[in-house]
A and B are shown apart, each in its own frame.
Chain A
Amino acid sequence: MTRPLIDCSLRAAFGSEPPGFAAVCHRLGYQAGALGMRCEQTEGLRTAHGFSFGLCTPFTKVVDTTLHGWGEQDSRPVSEMLLQAASGLMSVHGRAAGGARPLGVDYVSTLASVLALQGAIACAVGQLRGGRFDRCDTSLYAAALLAVGQYLADATAPEDAEHLLPGRLFADDQPPFVSADGVRFELEALEAGPWLRFWEAAGVAREVAGAGWRSFQLRYAKAIAPQPAPLLAAVAALPYARVYELAGESGIALCPVRTLAERARDPDAASLLAQGPWAFSFTGRPGGEWPATAPGKLPLSGLTVVESCRRIQGPLAGHLLASLGAKVIRIEPPGGDSLRGMPPMAGGCSARFDALNRLKMVIEIDLKSSAGQAQLKALVRDADVFLHNWAPGKAAEFGLDKGDLLQVQPALIYAYAGGWGSDSDAPGLPGTDFMAQAWTGVASRIAEASGARGGTLFTALDVLGGAVAAQGITAALFGRFVANAGGAVYTSLAGAASLLCGDALEAAVRGEDLSPNVAASAVFATADGLLAVDCSRGQSRVRLSSVLGLPIAADFDELAPQLAQALLAKRAEDWLRLFEEAGIPAALVIEDLSRLPLDALASRSMSAGAYAQVNSPWSFT
């Protein structure tokens, strides 16, 4: 197991972080360890409204990083649930989940921990290249907004903007499907043909299967996938074994919604936890030659990344590296990526595509041709990173695998952002978000924690996987400058999943059951709009009872029904003002994403372009 930050340490006031930062602090410590760092307890870095840490390496000055809650100079109490509410994440999840509600996993905290550590390591890389970069700031809220960036683009596009609200569709009409013997399962089809064959074999009329496909194929973009009743009924009448047979015969992929306990029994589960979500290797062959240009204002400026990725995970990784200053050259097939034309459009390009790719330079190359392969090699010769997410086996078929490209550029970091850990661990399913959620136990965990039937149609693993890939690449670049050798880093949706549910998965590997922390907090209707109130702390419950003139409740279950009734009396904004004065953690639930740019705090993290663009989550000084 290669760990690129060996001999480095992370100093922080672990264990005395402010409320709302426990999960992020814990995840940071875990990743630091998996990257080879020692975690050192330093009370001096204790802060009241954020979490600060120092990245110490033998080769650089200390990089001081602060992860704020809502943002710098905003001391309002923060929590995972409130961040999901105020960023629109709850609402994207709620489009198919039957209403705005938390995902039930520490999603924002996990994503923010990845970004914070990535920012710090990028600073160290910037220092190794002669820049200053001794301070990085980011926030939990910036991470939450990054997560909804593409949905926000769709909701604020100038032409045919999406207007999808939570709670307008029945959760039971959405995948996962359920068989006659009660097995919940996800289907995956990337083409209409197999989908049609499957449903015809299950006894569904063609046109009904077609109506299902129209909704199903757009679920990655819209986070909804309502299915016609005859489809749901057709599989509900068949035992799972028969559904499995039909899927095999039709060429459609099928994955049961597995529990974390099942996932924990997979051979790769324990090793993935020990290794972390990245697999690094360095060639040991000194490369030596890299651009000597001093970086500019951003820590990775002057570095070049060549990216050949489709869809979400890989392009987001490239977007994050570009946000850190790297020059990202995106390879697209002749005629351009077909996703460019997907409505809604903004300035001649799909808004959601632009949200992930706007910072890149594009070159069209036919990678199937030998001329195209040579062209790619020529680009890689002058690059620092090559990132792809090709289907397994493609790199070898193109003659563009790790060995081929490291021969061309020995100092290269060869990065792969895939679906599964490695070929030997792959379950033989397409490496797409909802397959990965079902396989890894994430879907089951979300179902258990949020009362849903399956996972989330918010592309949770694509986004987290993209951040993990960019973070792994940044750590590999650090390793490259230190070891003076090129190498490789492989990340996957499955790795992102093990990071997201790390504690529960670790418990499951030990044979224990760590029940989800169903937060004592919830979403309430008011006279106007939804309000998220976090009552996990006893103190908040006492204050809440006092503000509302209610008897002090013993626990949240007793308080919740009274609260639901009482909050109907005023508008959400009025309650929020009262709660803020009383120090009760609360936030307005953003239901309509197009309203997000009107929010004073959110708008600070956005730029008004043809659509609302989420800014880089980092700032450097």
Chain B
Amino acid sequence: MQIAVTIPTILRPLTGDQKQVTAHGRTLAELIDNLEQFYPGIKKRLVAEGKAHSFVNIYVNDDDVRFADNLDTTLRDGDNVTILPAVAGG
């Protein structure tokens, strides 16, 4: 299962400056584990204690996974995952 993942600038040092990478996984959690194998260090920038960091938004085809099944959100072949840092409030 091929999933295209869009990487924000802040994490590109971990992906050799690639803006988009591909990875595999039936769920978002698996996808992140798979990313970690190729780009070590990325997982801890995305999740802690089994949850996505509050300042990291992850979208599957434009849908925020916090409003789906979080890290258990299922992925399908051809899905696009976008990682976007965002902090609410001011």
Contacts and interface: CB of A to CB of B under 8 A. Distances in A.
Contacts of A216: 88
A432 B90 contact: yes
A342 B66 contact: no
A341 interface: yes
B11 to A, nearest CB: 8
Interface in A306-351: 311-312, 338-343, 345, 348
B67 A342 contact: no
B55 interface: yes
Given A311-B89, A338-B87, A342-B85, A210 B53 contact: no
A210 B85 contact: no
B89 A220 contact: yes
Nearest to A193: B66
B86 A210 contact: no
B88 A341 contact: no
Contacts of A192: 64, 66-67
Interface in A184-200: 188-193, 196
Interface in A173-226: 188-193, 196, 206-207, 209-210, 213-214, 216-218, 220-221
B9 interface: yes
Given A192-B64, A338-B55, A341-B11, 16 more contacts: A188-B89, A189-B88, A191-B54, A192-B66, A206-B67, A209-B67, A214-B57, A216-B88, A217-B88, A221-B90, A338-B53, A339-B55, A342-B87, A343-B85, A348-B10, A462-B90
Contacts of B55: 338-339, 341
A594 interface: no
Interface string B58-81: 010001101110000000000000
**Range, interface on chain B:** 20 to 34
Contacts of B85: 338, 341-343
Contact of A196 (B8, B67, B84, B87): B67
27 contacts: A188-B89, A191-B54, A192-B64, A192-B66, A192-B67, A196-B66, A207-B67, A210-B63, A210-B66, A213-B64, A213-B67, A214-B59, A214-B64, A217-B57, A218-B86, A220-B88, A220-B89, A311-B89, A312-B90, A338-B53, A341-B9, A341-B11, A342-B87, A343-B9, A348-B9, A432-B89, A432-B90
Given A196-B66, A206-B67, A348-B9, A343 B89 contact: no
A459 interface: yes
A363 B44 CA distance: 21
B64 A210 contact: yes
Nearest to A196: B67
Nearest to A461: B90
A220 B86 CA distance: 11
A315 to B, nearest CB: 11
B88 A191 contact: yes
B60 to A, nearest CB: 11
Interface string A84-104: 000000000000000000000
Contacts of B64: 192, 210, 213-214
A326 B63 CA distance: 45
Contacts of A189: 88
A207 B68 contact: yes
B8 A343 contact: yes
Interface in B1-44: 8-11
A311 B55 CA distance: 13
B8 to A, nearest CB: 6
A448 interface: no
A207 B63 contact: yes
A539 B11 CA distance: 59
Contacts of A191: 54, 88
Nearest to A189: B88
B47 to A, nearest CB: 14
Contacts of A218: 86, 88
Interface string A433-450: 100000000000000000
Q: Which of B8, B9, B53, B63 has the most chain A CB atoms inside 10 A of its CB?
A: B9
A416 to B, nearest CB: 18
Contacts of A209: 67
Contacts of B9: 159, 341, 343, 345, 348
